[in-house]
Amino acid sequence: MNLAELKDHIDFTINNLHSLDKPEDIPVLITLSESSVGARASTKVIHVGMGMDWESGQFRIYPESKLVRKGKALTDVKLVIEHLPLGGGRKIYICQSCGCHVGKEDRFCKHCSQKLI
C-alpha cells in the first residue's frame, strides 16, 4: 500500500461514517497475529510520519506495543510437551500454548488451534 492508497481508504471511511458524530474519536489500531478472546488482539498507533536516514521516502506507522511477540502468533509452531504422569503409565502430551492435553499425532491443538509439531 502506498500513501495515496492509505489516504483514499481513510477518506472513504470518514465519508461513510453516517452513524457517528465524531469520526476523529475513532481509535486507530493495528491487528496482531495472536490468539485472543473476544475482539482480535491489537495495539494502538502512537505516531505516524516520514522515515529518516535509511527509511527516508517511507511513511512509517509506530505501534504502542511490539508487533512480534515470540511464540504468541497462531502460525508459530510449538513443541508438544511430553512427560510421564506421577507413578509412570502412558505419556501425556500437552500444548505449550494453552496447557491442554493433545493427542500424540495432533497437528493442531483442539482447544486453542495452536499449530503443533
What's the grid cell of residue 99? 496447557
Q: 97: which DSSP letter?
A: T
Maximum CA pair distance of the chain? 67
Sheet of 29-31: strands edge to edge?
29-31, 42-50, 59-63
> CB 65: neighbour CB atoms within 10 A?
12
Burial classification of residue 95, based on how many CB atoms lie within 10 Å of its CB (0-12 exposed, 13-18 middle, 19 or more buried): buried
Note down pLDDT in tens along the chain; length 117 residues: 999 999 999 999 888 887 777 777 888 999 887 777 778 888 899 999 999 999 999 999 999 887 766 555 555 555 666 666 666 667 778 887 788 888 888 888 888 888 887
So what's the pLDDT on residue 47? 93
Q: How far is CA 110 from the centre of its chain?
A: 19
So what's the pLDDT on residue 2? 93
